[in-house]
Structure 1
Amino acid sequence: MKRIRVIRGWKDLPPGDRGAAVAMGSFDGVHRGHQQVIELAHRAARDLGAPLGVITFDPHPRVYFRPDEPAFRLMKTDQQARALETLNVDILYVLPLDAELAGMSDRAFATRVLHEGLGARHVAVGFDNSFGKGRTGTPDTMRQYGDELGFGVSVADPVGANGGGRGEKFSSTQVREALRDGRPEVAAEILGRPFAIEGPVQRGRQLGRQLGFPTANVDLGDYVSPRFGVYATRTRLSDGRQFDGVANIGVNPTVHGVTRPLLEVWLFDFDEDIYDRIIETDLIAFLRPEEKFPDLETMTAQVMKDAERAKAVLRA
């Protein structure tokens, strides 16, 4: 698989980084609705003999305009790049969302960024895409600017669970709601892959190791917080190896001292030092809500039951 090129910015790009057919959006999750927009850009790229590009923004517009809202991200930039790579995207344009970009009218954005900066030959957007200051730009105005400036425009229809635009549209909001409800399988259906939490393994108190179930602990950071509880999981290490496991997401109320939500995953048939290494854990199935136990013995007995149930679910 060819490697995606990540380009940060839109000004003074060399000729080799310009002239792509691009899909534009936030693409948090790169879910099946996003994939439809990218497929439209892919078709245009093929017809034009142009690179396939994706435009996204950093920070996410919701973070920039509503910074006090709870964490909501579905993926980190590296995960996004890998997901786009599987869709044959050549270039990921990460546009810095700053005062200059946020203050542009929709016409200025189309002219200065898409046309002059990126030299876009085609722009694909979702049916509900908006752009420009005050979100005044629409798919119809994008078509107008494309006619004026010389780039093609295509607009994706809603894509829902029943296909063909007949069902409720796939959205990142739906994914977040499913995760908050403890329904990772629904999130996976919308995403086209399991929701995954990636991050470095933190050094903790090693209590799990003492109790017979060593866990790799990862801070949730900016990820949306799934329903607190126990999950059947699959975890990938940086060397590509994958391990089934069982994880708790939450603040572990039985053990005092945890203040931020953590993913604590026990990898089955694994016993290596992976502190500070990056791991990525898929949430496969929700097993039960997080509980506070009267003592560590009761908690340990329940964890062993959870592990057996997780193994059964993952075998199925």
Structure 2
Amino acid sequence: MTVFHRNEEREPLPDHLKGGVVAIGNFDGVHRGHQTVLQRALDEAEKKDCPALVLTFEPHPRSVFNPDKPVFRITPAPLKARLIEALGYHCVVEYPFDRSFSQLSAEAFITSILRDWLHAAHVVTGFDFHFGKGREGGPAYLMEAGKRHGFGVTLVDAFRDENTDVISSSRIRNCLVEGDLSLAAGLLGYRYTVEGEVIHGKKLGRTLGFPTANMVLPEGAELKPGIYAVRLRRADGTLHDGVASYGHRPTVDDEGAALLETFVFDFDGDLYGEQVAVSFFGYLREELKFNGLEALVDQMNIDKEEARGLLSGVKPLSALDEKICF
């Protein structure tokens, strides 16, 4: 997988990536709606026998315009690229989004990026894609520009779920904030997943018989605090079921940054410093404050068995879910 970072020196795109079909969007979450856009671009590239690329923007525009309140990223850039690769792409172009770029006119976006840099043969994007200063460029503008500059344009309608409600990243964020993992997974088409480095904690879990792999979630994450049934994937691809706590540890700490603490079943190795992925399969209960460590351990044993039971019967939701979580 090639992740090409556009830079200020206007580094040229490699020749083998020019003249392809370009899927454009932020694609935070790579949810089922995004997947229809991405698949349409793959199909078009196969017909044209040319490269298929994804053009996305980093950081998220909302974080640029409101840096004090970073957006809850469902899929930070590395995970987003991994999901896009799993869908069949070989290149993601991460274009830097800053205030200067936001002032680029719609026509300059077309000519300098799509025509002169990417040499796009065809563009595929959502029906509501807007671009350029003040969002002056819209679907009609893009279609007309394609005719002038010699590239095709496909606009993909909003994707609706089984209840005819539009699937959106903001809707999925709300599900995660509320702990509705089942609905979030249905909208994503795969289980919500986070990635990060395993860090050292206070090691209290080890003394209680529940050693945990601790991670700090990405900035802006608003996952509901509580106890979850999860699956952890190591860097070597091996999978381990587990139970995780996300929050502030009210019984023993109740201060400091929120942590994701995963107790991995049937594992006694060392994960410190390793990059791992944790996929969420079920929300078990809220974070509680117990009257002493004995009561906490009793509940942790109950949580462990509940998580084992839930995970024993899970099946892939899709081909993407199978690649990421199974």
Q: TM exceeds 0.5?
A: yes
1:221 pairs, out of 196, 218, 221, with 218
> Who is 1:31 aligned against?
31
Aligned equivalents of 2:248, 2:113: Cα separation in 1: 44
3-state DSSP of counterpart to 2:84: helix
The whole-number CA distance in structure 1 between the counterparts of 2:254 and 2:182 is 31
**Matching residue of 1:46:** 46
1:233 aligned partner: 230
SS at match of 2:300: helix
Which residue among 158, 169, 177 is the counterpart of 2:174?
A: 177
1:168-187 CA-to-partner distances (Å, cap 9, x unmatched) read 11111111011111011111
Q: 1:302 to 1:71 in 2, by over 3 A?
A: farther
Write the mapping of 1:157-306 to structure 2, written as runs, cut at 5 A.
157-162=157-162, 167-222=164-219, 224-256=221-253, 258-306=255-303
Q: SS of the counterpart of 1:294?
A: coil
Aligned partners of 1:176 and 1:224 also within 8 Å: no
1:136 aligns with 2:136: yes
**Unpaired runs of at least 5, structure 1:** none
What is the alpha-carbon distance in structure 1 between the residues aligned to residue 170 and residue 287 of structure 2? 24
Q: Is the 8 A contact 1:106 1:132 kept in 2?
A: yes
CA distance in 1, matches of 2:91, 2:179: 34
TM-aligned CA deviation for residue 305 of structure 1 = 0.5
| CA RMSD, Structure 1 to Structure 2 (Å) | 1.4
Asked whether the 8 Å contact 1:249–1:261 carries over to 2, the reply is yes
Question: Structure 2: any 5+ residue segments left out of the alignment?
Answer: 314-326
Find the counterpart in structure 1 of residue 104 from structure 2.
104
Structure 1: 4+ residue segments shifted above 6 A: none
Aligned equivalents of 1:117 and 1:174: distance in 2?
Answer: 34
Residue identity in the other structure for 1:190: L
Shift of 1:107: 1.3
Q: Deviations over 1:93-144 (max 9, x none)?
A: 1101134321101111011111111111111111111111111211111111
**For 1:207-264, what per-residue CA distance to the aligned partner results, in whole angstroms no more than 9, with x for missing partners?**
0010011111100122522111000011100111101110111111111264111111
Q: Number of residue pairs matched?
A: 310
TM-score (norm 1): 0.95
Q: State the secondary structure of the residue aligned to 1:266.
A: strand
- What's the offset of the Cα at 1:312? 0.9
- SS of 1:185's equivalent in the other structure is helix
Is residue 139–residue 155 contact of structure 1 (8 Å, CA) maintained in 2? yes
User: Do 2:29 and 2:75's aligned partners in 1 also have CA atoms closer than 8 Å?
Assistant: yes
Does the Cα contact within 8 Å between 2:181 and 2:282 map onto a contact in 1? yes
Shift of 1:313: 0.9
CA distance in 2, matches of 1:98, 1:88: 29
Q: CA deviation at 1:71?
A: 4.3
Q: Residues 135-167 of structure 1: CA distance to partner in whole angstroms, max 9, x if unpaired?
A: 1211111111111111100011111112xxx71
The answer to whether the 8 A contact 2:62-2:70 is kept is no
**1:8 paired residue number:** 5
Following the alignment from structure 2 to structure 1, what is the Cα–Cα distance between the partners of residues 21 and 143? 14
**Number of the residue aligned with 2:147:** 147
C-alpha displacement at 1:90, in angstroms?
A: 2.2
- Which residue in the other structure is 1:92 paired with? 92
